[in-house]
């Protein structure tokens, strides 16, 4: 039995299907010393950097919350 995922080419479509942007893919390659990731490595990084794990789209919104309540007392609880 052969492992078809071992021969899967990492194309822009495969990167996009894993939920990574082209910039994130370049960052991944840099982390791997400039080499192309295997399909398994691509999958692992795509999960680690997924919306569920890293809140990519909500980071900008979460930054608007303060660590402590402002003088008005409008913040009921801080992040964390």
Task: Give pLDDT tens digits for 6-56.
Answer: 568 899 999 999 989 999 999 999 999 999 999 999 999 998 887 666 666
**pLDDT score at 22:** 93
Task: Give pLDDT tens digits for 43-58.
Answer: 999 988 876 666 666 6
**pLDDT score at 1:** 42
pLDDT band at 63 (very low <50, low <70, confident <90, very high): confident
The per-residue b/e assignment along 32-58, b for 16 or more CB within 10 angstroms, e otherwise, is eeeeebebeebeebbeebeeeeeeeee
Q: In the predicted model, is pLDDT for residue 65 greater than 90? A: no
Check if the beta carbon of residue 13 is closer than 8 Å to that of residue 22. no
């Amino acid at each position: 039995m052969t492992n078809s995922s071992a021969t899967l080419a990492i194309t822009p479509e495969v990167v996009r299907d894993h939920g990574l942007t082209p910039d994130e893919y370049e960052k991944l390659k840099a982390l791997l010393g400039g080499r192309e990731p295997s399909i398994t490595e691509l999958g692992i990084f795509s999960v680690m950097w997924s919306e569920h794990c890293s809140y990519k789209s909500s980071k900008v919104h979460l930054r608007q919350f303060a660590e402590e309540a402002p003088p008005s007392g409008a913040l009921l609880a801080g992040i964390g």
